Amino acid sequence: MSLVHIIDVESGNLQSLSNAILKIDSNYQIKFIHNESEFIKYNSEIEKLIFPGVGNFGHFVHELNNRKLSKHIKEYIESGRSIMGICVGLQSFFKISEESGSQVHGLGLLDLDLFKFNPNDDIFIEKGIKKSVPHIGWNSIEDIVINGKVENEKSIHGINTQNKYYFVHSYAGIIKNSEIESKIKAYESKGWNFAIGKYGSEKFVAAISKDNLVATQFHPEKSGIVGLKIIKNFLNGEKYPEIDAKNELKKGTECTLSGLSRRIIACLDVRTNDDGDLVVTKGDQYDVREKTDSSVRNLGKPIELATKYYNQGADEIVFLNITSFRNSPIKDLPMLEVLKKSAQTIFVPLTVGGGIKDMIDPQTGNLVPAVRIADLYFKAGADKVSIGSDAVLIAEEYYRNGKKGTGKSSIETISKTFGNQAVVISVDPKRKYISDPNETTQQVIKIENPDEFGPNDEQYCYYQVTSQGGRKIHELGALELCIACEALGAGEILLNSIDFDGSNNGFNLQLLKQIKTNVGIPVIASSGAGNPKHFEDVFKQDFNIDAALGAGMFHRQEYTVNDVKKYLQDNSRMDVRLSEDIEL
């Protein structure tokens, strides 16, 4: 039986990595190494070591040092045995990161530093917009440099310029200046290979390799079959395999400014029906009961549907436990089960929402902090958690507190521990028309098109946020909510619109524009998608939306995810990641 060892300093979604290895070959035996004594115990048997990490560089390095692992990992690498670093695992091979200051030192294998992506990237600023940070989504590799030569027809462990890989990070080995470029050249002449990525106009180190070491900034375990193949090549010691899965861009394809392909997300609203079964449902304006008999609309089983959408090429799957505010997820194990099972067959990012907040365990009466609940979901296989109702309460407190956080909220604690890329806020806004902007302290939108005026000819509106699945309306604007949550550490915004939900009439461009042009983190358009053209419409907007989500149109089988992508590709020459037609 072949052994794989994984360094586990409780940073990130190791469940998905284990699932990926077992998918490659179910005969692998996986052992986790948590500390020095375990490293020493297993040292002689380690042949393939995987070194994954997500979140904060400083937190990760501290954990390595506290557990006295750094020295052993360095010695292991020096001995020439095989190791694969992933995301912050790769970053820890660098010297220091802007994220954690000059006092925190990585393993320093490379005398290179990590910097934050610049939101004021010139090519964005020229268009009057900012680049979203974190860099989240599917990006390609610009150059493969082997033995100091650009060899874009070749691959490093399967990493190549033809495919797209899933990235999620704010900091990277950005090649900012000629000094860094020269250092990289010097490493190339010492046998280091590089895969160079590009986010906007910033070039960065997307992967490195030398002898038996390989490390990726992206997540191969979340990059579909092409990602799994990279892990497979590492495990099999295949350093320069042929590229077998070409995904060449069609002539004339229009790439995004960022380089990311248009990200299409399938969303599953999950709840128990009246028989107690967990079902995927979907409502109109959040009413999920059938008009005829008031039963909960049942559109299928969560794991089955999620797997179907993954196979259709979904770039990401979101599960929302829509009745979570009534059920504690500690007791509500079916949702954890859904995550666990889905993560065994789905190798793209999984987000879970519903009930992420501090709560009292009904059995013990003890407080269970939100970060612990998030941890349960991450351990089950989730990559991100989505916070809805609690985000509203947190934002209200932020403004009451003179625009300051308490340091204890779910958003702050989860992003501090797992990184802000792991924290999505799900916003459920409802439009409120007003005649005079002075009627509210929230920022308003002036409606330009008379067809869109309110029922009493109101020419202004703003979007009041709601909690508890639209049941409770708050006197807080969606924009104010998003600004507060971004300041507190949220990494992405899932922007619903109750007025448009289930309408099949297209996304709420007015609301999306207001939010997207005023925040720096990625925004996902949600609510209203009814056909592929609606995705084209939203991606065409000059406010540069980061991703678009569909629910009902996929559940009702009117279109597949691949239909949407093919439409975007064929009709408007948009760059998308098509469903994978390759064997592992």
Binding annotation for L-glutamine: 87
Identify which of residues 113 and 396 has a Cβ nearer to ligand 1PR in the complex: 396
Comparing every residue's Cβ against ligand 1PR, the nearest one is 469
Q: Are 103 and 65 in contact (CB under 8 A)?
A: no
* Burial letters 412-439, b for 16+ CB under 10 A, else e: bbbbbbbbbbbbbbbbbbbbbbbeebee
Q: How many residues does the chain have?
A: 584
Paired sense of beta strands 135-146 and 164-169, if any:
antiparallel
221 is catalytic: yes
87 is catalytic: yes
Name the site residues for ligand 1PR (rule: CB under 6 A).
267, 269, 282-283, 286, 288, 320, 322, 324-325, 353-356, 386-390, 426, 428, 469, 496, 501-502, 526-529, 550-552
Identify which of residues 197 and 354 has a Cβ nearer to ligand 1PR in the complex: 354
Query: Shortest distance, CB of residue 396 to ligand 1PR, whole angstroms?
Result: 14
Other CB atoms within a 10 A radius of the CB of residue 230 amount to 29
Paired sense of beta strands 193-199 and 135-146, if any:
antiparallel
Query: Shortest distance, CB of residue 174 to ligand 1PR, whole angstroms?
Result: 34
Identify which of residues 317 and 444 has a Cβ nearer to ligand 1PR in the complex: 317
Q: What is the CA radius of gyration of the chain?
A: 23
- What token pair was written down for 130? 């900012």
Structure letter (DSSP) for residue 45:
G
Q: Are 371 and 401 in contact (CB under 8 A)?
A: no
Query: Shortest distance, CB of residue 286 to ligand 1PR, whole angstroms?
Result: 4
448 is catalytic: no
Sequence-distant (6+) residues with CB within 8 A of 517 are 129, 543
Query: How is 523-544 classified by DSSP, letter by letter?
Result: EEE-S---SHHHHHHHHHSTT-
Identify the helix (H) or strand (E) that includes residue 475: strand 472-477
Identify which of residues 505 and 571 has a Cβ nearer to ligand 1PR in the complex: 505
Binding residues: 87, 355, 496
Q: Taking Cα atoms as reference points, which of 131, 128, 101, 125 lies closest to residue 113?
A: 101
269 is catalytic: yes
Instruction: Report the distance separating Cα 432 and Cα 273, nearest Å.
Output: 32
Structure letter (DSSP) for residue 175:
-
Query: Shortest distance, CB of residue 471 to ligand 1PR, whole angstroms?
Result: 8
Residue among 8, 113, 412, 428 flagged as catalytic: 428
Residue among 269, 383, 501, 546 flagged as catalytic: 269
Query: Shortest distance, CB of residue 387 to ligand 1PR, whole angstroms?
Result: 5
Residue among 87, 267, 461, 482 flagged as catalytic: 87
Binding residues for substrate: 355, 496
219 is catalytic: yes
Q: Taking Cα atoms as reference points, which of 280, 256, 388 lies closest to residue 325?
A: 388
Q: Are 497 and 522 in contact (CB under 8 A)?
A: no
Query: Shortest distance, CB of residue 367 to ligand 1PR, whole angstroms?
Result: 17
Query: Shortest distance, CB of residue 572 to ligand 1PR, whole angstroms?
Result: 20
Identify which of residues 56 and 426 has a Cβ nearer to ligand 1PR in the complex: 426
Identify which of residues 245 and 473 has a Cβ nearer to ligand 1PR in the complex: 473
Residue among 5, 59, 219, 534 flagged as catalytic: 219
Residue among 221, 315, 383, 546 flagged as catalytic: 221
Instruction: Report the distance separating Cα 239 and Cα 249, nearest Å.
Output: 25
Residues annotated as catalytic (active site), given as ranges: 87, 219, 221, 269, 428
